[in-house]
Amino acid sequence: MRRCFPAIVLGIAIVSPAAALDLRARKPGLWEIQVTMDGPQPLKQILQLHCVDAATDKLLNDRLSGNQGGCSQQGMNRSGNTIVVDSSCKFMGMTTHTHMVFEGDFDSACTVKLSTSIDGDSAQNQQAITRNMTLQAKWAGRCRPGQRPGDIEMPNGAKMNILDQPGAAPGNK
For residue 172, tell me if it sits in a domain.
no
Residue 171 in domain: no
21 lies in some domain: yes
Cα–Cα distance, 61 to 3 (Å, whole number): 9
Q: Could you give the number of structural domains in the chain?
A: 1
Domain containing 12 equals 8-164
Question: At 158, phi and psi to the nearest 5?
Answer: -65, 140
Domain-embedded: residue 136:
yes
Report whether pLDDT(71) > 90: no
Does residue 8 surpass a pLDDT of 80?
no
Residue 100 lies in a domain: yes
Asked whether 86 and 75 are in contact (CB, 8 A), the reply is yes
Q: Express each pLDDT in 83-96 by its tens digit.
A: 888 888 877 777 88
CA distance 9 to 16: 7
Whether 109 is covered by a domain: the verdict is yes
Secondary structure (DSSP) of 116-131: EEEE--GGGTPPPEEE
Return the pLDDT at 16: 39
Residue of 15, 12, 24, 10 whose CA lies nearest to 57:
24
In-domain check, residue 148: yes
Interatomic CA distance for residues 85 and 5, integer angstroms: 12
Q: How far apart are CA 98 and CA 74, in angstroms?
A: 10
Q: Is residue 170 part of a domain?
A: no
pTM of the model: 0.74
